[in-house]
Amino acid sequence: MANEKNLKPPRSTSEARERGARGGKASGEARRRKRSSREVLEMLNRLNATEQEAAELASNGVSKNNMTRQVLRMWGLQKKAESGDVAANRLILEVLGELNAPTVPDDSDSGFTFKIEDFSNDDVSDT
């Protein structure tokens, strides 16, 4: 049962319209802030690794044109996963799209075939 003190009177059409407009403007502003942050992160991802970081990547077989901050971050994530970090392993599987991979093969891959027979019309007596 609702508490009488918490009930708000019905809003007028103009008040509802005004509140809706304010909510829409705030939503647009939040979307613009998120887009701006995403653009900054994308720009930072494309920056080249420092000389020391590039040397480490090169020693592990990364080509010179792939030595970006993003590759460096993924390399660090891979090292953490290899050391046994469960969260890092999970994140790698998510990025690769393998986290929700089926663990049991579907029927076409299992090698089994099934024949389903219809016994609904058989004459069976109760004895």
State how far the Cα of 70 lies from the Cα of 42, in Å rounded to an integer: 9
How does pLDDT run across 22-49, given as a tens digit for each residue? 889 999 999 999 999 999 999 988 899 9
Q: What does pTM read for this prediction?
A: 0.52
- Identify the pLDDT of residue 108: 56
pLDDT at 20: 86
**Nearest Cα to 69, choosing from 100, 101, 42, 93?**
42
pLDDT digits over 66-103, tens only? 999 999 999 999 999 999 999 999 999 998 988 875 55
Categorise residue 18: left if φ over 0, alpha if ψ from -120 to 50, beta otherwise: alpha
HSE toward the beta carbon, residue 40, CA cutoff 13 A:
6
Q: Is 119 a residue whose pLDDT tops 70?
A: no
Q: Give CA–CA dist 28/45, Å, rounded.
A: 26
